[in-house]
Amino acid sequence: MEQRTFQQAMTYLAAAYSVEMPKEKAAVYWDQLGNLEDEPFWVAVKVAVGNDEWMPSVARLRELYREELRRRRQQPALTRPEPVDREQGREYIRHIRDVLGIRR
């Protein structure tokens, strides 16, 4: 994780929970969480703020981070759509128009 992202997240948490973030405490959080990916970490921070009454521990943030990674793995990967047979589509539209009695 970029240090800037981490600092922003710690500032966000401190503001959300109205707590002080001494350098020593931030250093422990950085030591334990600094190797995580930025985006899933931000999601974990925001989930904590949205759901937890108290400032999350390192363990809680790591748990939320892992949940976010699992959630992302479960989402199906986007694939290219199958090529469209335009003539078949036109034929289908003509058929619908004929059935409905729509003349062009």
Q: By three-state DSSP, how is residue 35 classified?
A: coil
Split at pLDDT 50, 70, 90, the class of 82 is: confident
Mean pLDDT value across residues 21-25: 95
Confidence at residue 104, expressed as pLDDT on a 0 to 100 scale: 67
Q: Tokens standing for 74?
A: 């479960």
Confidence at residue 41, expressed as pLDDT on a 0 to 100 scale: 98
Mean pLDDT value across residues 78-97: 85
* 1, 13, 36, 44 from 56: Cα distances, Å: 18, 8, 16, 10
Give a three-class secondary structure readout of 36-100: CCHHHHHHHHHHHHHHCCCCCCHHHHHHHHHHHHHHHHHCCCCCCCCCCCHHHHHHHHHHHHHHH
For the cut 80, the answer to whether the pLDDT of residue 75 exceeds it is no
Confidence at residue 83, expressed as pLDDT on a 0 to 100 scale: 86
pTM: 0.71
Domain ranges of the chain: 3-74
